[in-house]
Amino acid sequence: MKAIFIAYNQAYGTEIVELLSELGQRGFTQWTDIQGRGGEAGDPHYGNHAWPTQNYAILTIAPDDKAADLMKALHETDEKYPDLGLRAFQWTVDTMV
């Protein structure tokens, strides 16, 4: 199993959730209205008058065979809209209850 954490601009709206569904990845936890700033480039997302946008984040646990397809689809989505900002991180889940 793989844990995949996805942080993305709120402008994606439901697109990332729909992407999970299209790939057969049902379970996830989503956080909305979170703040952050990219490590390399991009504008801050603080939800204030100077930096009004915010981010969303999703954590999903995917079977190994689905994780690669999901990461590929997320990468392709990020390449379509590079100014919005989307980051995905994957790591191995050793134990799950």
Summary mean pLDDT of the chain:
93
| pTM for the full predicted model | 0.92
Instruction: Specify if 15 maps to a domain.
Output: yes
Is position 14 within any domain? yes
Q: Which residue did the predictor score with more confidence, 31 or 53?
A: 31
pLDDT at site 42:
75
Show the tokens assigned to 51.
């930096």
Structural domain boundaries, residue 53: 2-92
Domain containing residue 55: CATH number? 3.30.70.120
The Cα-based distances of 94 to 65, 82, 88 in angstroms read: 16, 33, 19
Domain total of the chain: 1
Structure confidence at residue 28 (pLDDT): 97
Domain presence at residue 97: no
Model confidence over 15-33: pLDDT tens digits? 999 999 999 999 999 999 9
In a domain, 11, yes or no: yes
Does residue 31 fall inside a structural domain?
A: yes
Q: Is the confidence at residue 12, as pLDDT, over 90?
A: yes
Give residue 37's pLDDT.
83
